[in-house]
Structure 1
Amino acid sequence: MSIPPRETWEALYARPMIEGRAFIEGRYGNSLNAFDQYTELKATCSKL
């Protein structure tokens, strides 16, 4: 299995994570609490 080029990796993983975090920070306030919500959401999504 080959490693995808950096642009592909960023498009598939990095950008959605950054946008997801920005969304949560906007909704819950830019704080450690927002980051906790974000990591919790990420953990939930990875179980699906």
Structure 2
Amino acid sequence: MLAYHNIGKIGEVVDRPKALGDIRGVSYIYGLFYRFGLIDVPDKAKEKMAEQ
């Protein structure tokens, strides 16, 4: 819930997972938020997620 509430404060593109907050498991949450279309990520991060 903490990461979800921080989406509006950050803006359109979330550069890195820690930008969502100092939350346990934020790197996992970052990927989920991107997959569900809640955030946009830089092109470099998109390429890394597409490889997996």
User: Structure 1-normalised TM-score?
Assistant: 0.29
Indicate the structure (1 or 2) with the bigger Cα radius of gyration. Answer: 1
Instruction: Work out which structure has the larger RCO, using CA pairs closer than 8 Å and 6 or more positions apart in sequence.
Output: 2
